[in-house]
Structure 1
Amino acid sequence: MNRRQFFLILLTCLLPLGMQAQQETFRFAQLTDLHLSPRNANPTEDLLRSVAQLNATDSLDFVLITGDVTEEGDRTTMEKLKTCLDLLKMPYYIALGNHETKWSDSGCTAFSEIFGGDRFKFEHKGILFLGFNSGPLMRMAYGHVVPQDINWMKESMDAFNQGNPKRGKPVILATHYPMQEGDVDNWYDVTDAVRPYNVRLFIGGHYHSNRNLRYDGIPGILMRSNLRDKEGKPGYGIYEVTQDSIRVYTQRIGEPPKKWAAFSLTRSYYDRNGKAEKYPDFSVNKEFPKVKEQWTVQTGAGIYCSPAVEKDKVFVGDDLGCLTAYTLKNGKKLWSFQSGKRIVGTPAASEGIVVFGSADRHIYGLSAKDGSQLWKVEAAEPVLGAVTIENRIAYIGASDHTFRAIDIHTGKVIWVYTGIKGYIETKPLVTEDKVIFGAWDNTLYALNKTDGKELWKWTGGLTRMHFSPAAVWPVAANGKVFITDPQRAMTAIDIQTGNTVWRTFQSMVRETIGLSEDHERVYSKTMNDSIVCYSTLEDTPRELWASNVGFGYEHAPSMQAEKEGIMFGSTKEGLIFALEGKTGKVLWKHKIGNSLISTVVPLNGHELLFTATSGEVGLLKTKK
């Protein structure tokens, strides 16, 4: 060994961990909020202009694409998007946005099939890049990073640092939403999880404007949308990584790039041993100490459906495609059945049989006793609809434009209706002679329960897909069907004719409805703080009461349910509440976590089952 080699080795040993090699210089681009649409050619033109300019730009190593790449999350548009992106002369890496996760006829499975996954990981010149989904998945709520993705990030960064985060190898994280309160409900889980590592930057979009933010101290960049601006020019981001910094530029078509932010690669921006600057407030639980969680199970997977219950068992589907049975008494896991892809729709159980749909394009019938498969029905596309069972017949809609009635004992399809233009996620209403449900095509359908023949369709003059009465679970009373929709209206529809009886925007409700046990009242959440109650008896809208529950801004599609005169509801930020059905008096509130609570299932006036997007299943109980 000569003297020069000796001193090189000595110098390497003396350098701090994570600083043993100077950062290589490189550049990459960011495209975000493309919003390609089947009804508007401009976003596609904007993207193609950006792709052409990117291809003509020297020294770009790759492109990050950070969500809202389509307007409606449909497969056809994503396939078109891929043909455009494949024109790039450099590699690209893509993550989902809320338009791909909230409105997705495939239950967010088409994205992975087309682009090879719903998250990405790669190392480039000494920096680890991780991109992941920030939701919300299929339910209107704040963004959410599911437990399995948080674990994946930590495992990836551990491997990058050879099991020792103190090595401090630099990481850049890409997502659609900013990791902050009001955007992602569990931002603190994410920042606490990544804090021990050397995260240099979060990169995202969503707000269609340039923003330089901090997520519990960690730098965060939001880039402008690729859509043409007021001057008619598309644009994107350019990042220049040097030996000691990251420089951020905006690049408009036909103009030189403009630098607007820069970050050090050596300076410490946050305490890697610290915690989030703020956590959710659970003080409401001290106000109502009689409300307790009898049991809670953390499943470790996202949950987007409500629980189903029969006798002494609770059944829950999850993001990993598992349908799991728990004991009602204490939450002990009894068995789990693995389907091929995620479960979005709420299952149903009757006569010892559990029925549910899966994004793997099948409807399953399982034994409630041991989870063994009794039958399955194949669909042409993912099955995202919730199940209603009545008199041994299961009713369920899918994304193949088909609604089915299935014998739960044999799996025989009794009838099908194929006249649906949009996909179905709702739980159908089954009455004495009708099956009624909405779809993401601005339409509410009423079918003959016996043979599936169409009786009527209601559109209410809705013109935008996003206004469809598709997430609400309809209810019926006194000759009327009641729904709410994203246009912020409550509507009463004649159950025999499909004609509008009344429609009101008075209370600014969205996609929730609930019926009292005596069928005289319907309930709904407003978009700010309150529950409202309307009469089902009149042919004009009559508000009976409005109660300020104090839950803040709210738009989650979790329905209201009444048992023993108590109305129960829940919110996108983990709150469950109970009101006196006839008066609206607030009886209690209890905060489970900070993510969406799906429609709760009351067992009686003082016990209810719940599920949360963050993976919890539990039984809540109030002392009498």
Structure 2
Amino acid sequence: MNRRLFTSVLFACLLPFMVQAQQAVFRFAQLTDIHLSPNNPNPTEDLLRSIAQINATDSIDFVLVTGDIAEEGDRTTMEKVKSCLDLLKVKYYVVLGNHETKWSDSGCTAFGEIFGGERFEFEHKGFLFLGFNSGPLMRMAYGHVVPQDIRWMTETMERYNAGNSRPDKPVILVTHYPMTEGDVDNWYEVTDAVRPYNIRLFIGGHYHRDRDLRYDGIPGILMRSNLRDKDEKPGYGIYEITEDSILVHTQRIGEPKRQWAAFSLTDSYYDRNGKAEKYPDFSVNKEYAQVQEQWIVQTGAGIYCSPAVEKDKVFVGDDLGRLTAYALKNGKKLWSFQSGKRIVGTPAVSEGIVVFGSADCKIYGLDAQNGNLLWTVEAAEPVLGAVTIENGIAYIGASDHTFRAVNIRTGEVKWAFAGVRGYIETKPLVTDNKVIFGAWDNTLYALNKADGKELWKWTGGLTRMHFSPAAVWPVAADGKVFITDPQRAMTAIDIETGNTVWRTFQSMVRETIGLSEDKERIYSKTMNDSIVCYSTKGDQPHKLWASNVGFGYEHAPSMQVEKNGVVFGSTKEGLIFALEAATGKVLWKHKTGNSLISTVVPLDNNRVLLTATSGETGMLKFKIKK
């Protein structure tokens, strides 16, 4: 064979491999932490400048957008973000950030409507990209990946591998939060679930700066914010996938890109048969062995509301829009009703009727015995508020700037107050002749219970939406309404006039409050370790006791509840605790998981009901040691 013929044959033999190698080379961009705001034009300008430069850059195959796209998580701003992103000449894929999940007038449903879903999957030149929500959803807590998303990830990777000639497809996972302790409460569940697969990289944002991390050994990249830096330069990420590496660059506007990380596509970074390097510590359960889990049900979906109970049934709403009844005795599922979208607000039940709101823009009344639909009330926007029922009337707020009073037997709207500026998620206080609630507009409202007429509004000088008294469940005693707010203050407000009686920052509380059964004490959770107790009497704050429960840094909006002289509370990391009401003495603690426990429901001297973001609902049984 002559040399020319040999070369031709060799080229023909190698051509498929050369084409395969050539196809495996591509580039994509990452935009993150855009924070568009109706009150600041700079983030919009920064985004448009970045989009223009991406469009002018050769060989960008697609763009990943990794959350915090809107400062206040509202639909209008997200639609504006989309109109900007639509200027890109290439396809883009978006995941939610905490600013879209914690603050959302739609219960996070608008994001999916605008961008086509809350997660994405696509294959590009031999790589599988999976993007998913890392929370938290509506409740201030650490990030969380819900059970159904973990299940979706593993099932999707199995499906792609099963149908591919190369069964070990390389995967890049896209989130907002890093999968680390202190950022995502169930990081270990995520890393354990994906570890058996060929995960080459996690890509995220959140920290607003470049970070090269390891999530139980798996490489993780956090990219700088798109917002202009101290040099007034917006920026974004550029990733180059070569034949054997992933190269990571930061690209500032008008400058050459700067490489700052690289990862091999052939080396192993973690043990695919291993486990997470660290798990949550459950040793507290041995210390307080008098507390037992009588029953725990894993529902398979995130839960953001507290349970409601009547007679022998427990009612729980979930992320998949289901309202489910369980047997109080053993947790057996009795029936389930499917609403159109997720349930965020805590339901209420009275006279055999369960009432709840759904992000599908409806308020529902169900027969508590069998789950049959009795009536619905239509709202113009999602209904995220918790429900309070008194004397056959359900009180509930929605995101259509309206608060309603509904007859639970007929579904007739007794009255509707349409003067709310923000959206409502709280459980309203119904006391004497008033209904009192906060909204995400810096305002606490007091309405006449009989006709819904406004009696007063309190703003307390709050100027930022994020400081609103909107997650706290207000309580009242001694002629005052008591609230806490994200500005880390506790406030007493005159219940007749709406004037501030006192306001204190001394205990660094946030969005939780509780009232003693005799109405002489209020309780709140500080942001570090302690529960504090104040007197309801007088016109000055008077702290009665503070108890170091040892729960660490804390900012979850789960209320304190007193029952038979015992104060119950819970945290963002799965801890439930009981204190002696008069003194604050710690009676017991129990850790059921590592995610947010919503406001618990004590039943009597030895039982308490719980729900968790991670999908559990259950009952603890305990003995109080004298």
What TM-score do you get using the length of structure 1 for normalisation? 0.97
Q: Residue 560 of structure 2 aligns with which residue?
A: 560
SS of the equivalent of 1:226 reads coil
Post-superposition shift, 1:129? 0.3
CA distance in 1, matches of 2:325, 2:560: 24
Please say if 1:267 is aligned against 2:267: yes
Q: Residue 413 of structure 1 aligns with which residue?
A: 413
CA distance in 2, matches of 1:94, 1:168: 25
CA distance in 2, matches of 1:512, 1:593: 21
Post-superposition shift, 1:160? 1.2
One-letter identity of the residue aligned with 1:481: V
Post-superposition shift, 1:605? 2.5
Question: What does 1:164-313 align with in structure 2 at a 5 Å threshold?
Answer: 167-313=167-313
One-letter identity of the residue aligned with 1:297: V
Post-superposition shift, 1:128? 0.1
One-letter identity of the residue aligned with 1:232: E
Post-superposition shift, 1:9? 14
CA deviations over 1:84-134 (Å, ceiling 9, x no partner): 000000000000000000000000000000000011100000000000000
One-letter identity of the residue aligned with 1:221: I
Q: Residue 487 of structure 1 aligns with which residue?
A: 487
CA distance in 2, matches of 1:538, 1:544: 13
CA contact (8 A) 1:174 1:203 kept: yes
CA deviations over 1:375-403 (Å, ceiling 9, x no partner): 00000000000000000000000000000
CA distance in 1, matches of 2:12, 2:515: 75
Post-superposition shift, 1:31? 0.1
CA distance in 1, matches of 2:571, 2:30: 34
One-letter identity of the residue aligned with 2:59: S
Q: Residue 613 of structure 1 aligns with which residue?
A: 613
Q: Residue 399 of structure 1 aligns with which residue?
A: 399
Please say if 1:340 is aligned against 2:335: no
Q: Taking every aligned residue pair, what percent have the same amino acid on both sides?
A: 81
SS of the equivalent of 1:160 reads helix
Q: Residue 320 of structure 1 aligns with which residue?
A: 320
Question: What does 1:21-40 align with in structure 2 at a 5 Å threshold?
Answer: 24-40=24-40
Post-superposition shift, 1:168? 1.9
One-letter identity of the residue aligned with 1:261: A
CA deviations over 1:58-78 (Å, ceiling 9, x no partner): 000000000000000000001
CA distance in 1, matches of 2:323, 2:94: 30
CA distance in 2, matches of 1:493, 1:606: 35
SS of the equivalent of 2:227 reads coil
One-letter identity of the residue aligned with 2:398: A
Distance 1:478 1:8, change over 3 A: farther
CA deviations over 1:143-167 (Å, ceiling 9, x no partner): 0000000000001100111179993
One-letter identity of the residue aligned with 2:470: A
SS of the equivalent of 2:162 reads coil
Distance 1:8 1:126, change over 3 A: farther
Q: Residue 463 of structure 1 aligns with which residue?
A: 463
One-letter identity of the residue aligned with 1:610: L
Distance 1:11 1:286, change over 3 A: farther
Q: Residue 97 of structure 1 aligns with which residue?
A: 97
One-letter identity of the residue aligned with 2:278: K
SS of the equivalent of 1:518 reads coil
Distance 1:385 1:512, change over 3 A: same
Structure 1 residue runs of 4 or more that deviate by more than 4 Å after TM superposition: 6-12, 20-23, 163-166
CA distance in 1, matches of 2:36, 2:166: 42
Q: Residue 64 of structure 1 aligns with which residue?
A: 64
Alignment gaps of 5+ in structure 2: 1-5
CA distance in 2, matches of 1:327, 1:592: 20
SS of the equivalent of 2:248 reads strand
Q: How many residues align?
A: 617
CA distance in 1, matches of 2:351, 2:165: 53
Q: What's the C-alpha RMSD, in Å, of the aligned pairs?
A: 2.0
SS of the equivalent of 2:190 reads helix
SS of the equivalent of 1:286 reads helix
CA distance in 1, matches of 2:429, 2:27: 55
Post-superposition shift, 1:432? 1.2
SS of the equivalent of 2:27 reads strand
Distance 1:56 1:392, change over 3 A: same
CA distance in 2, matches of 1:212, 1:403: 47
Question: What does 1:105-144 align with in structure 2 at a 5 Å threshold?
Answer: 105-144=105-144
Distance 1:11 1:57, change over 3 A: closer
Post-superposition shift, 1:10? 12
One-letter identity of the residue aligned with 1:601: V
Distance 1:22 1:619, change over 3 A: farther
Q: Residue 3 of structure 2 aligns with which residue?
A: none
CA distance in 2, matches of 1:426, 1:148: 26
Distance 1:306 1:29, change over 3 A: same
Q: Residue 450 of structure 1 aligns with which residue?
A: 450
One-letter identity of the residue aligned with 2:421: K
One-letter identity of the residue aligned with 1:414: K
Q: Residue 510 of structure 2 aligns with which residue?
A: 510
CA contact (8 A) 1:157 1:165 kept: no
CA distance in 2, matches of 1:419, 1:175: 37
Q: Residue 476 of structure 2 aligns with which residue?
A: 476
CA deviations over 1:177-203 (Å, ceiling 9, x no partner): 000000000000000000000000000
CA distance in 1, matches of 2:194, 2:354: 39
CA contact (8 A) 2:21 2:243 kept: no
CA distance in 2, matches of 1:583, 1:235: 54
CA contact (8 A) 1:565 1:605 kept: no
SS of the equivalent of 2:65 reads strand
CA distance in 2, matches of 1:615, 1:211: 31
Alignment gaps of 5+ in structure 1: none
CA distance in 2, matches of 1:140, 1:276: 25
CA contact (8 A) 1:357 1:386 kept: yes
One-letter identity of the residue aligned with 2:615: G
Post-superposition shift, 1:23? 6.3
CA distance in 1, matches of 2:78, 2:280: 36
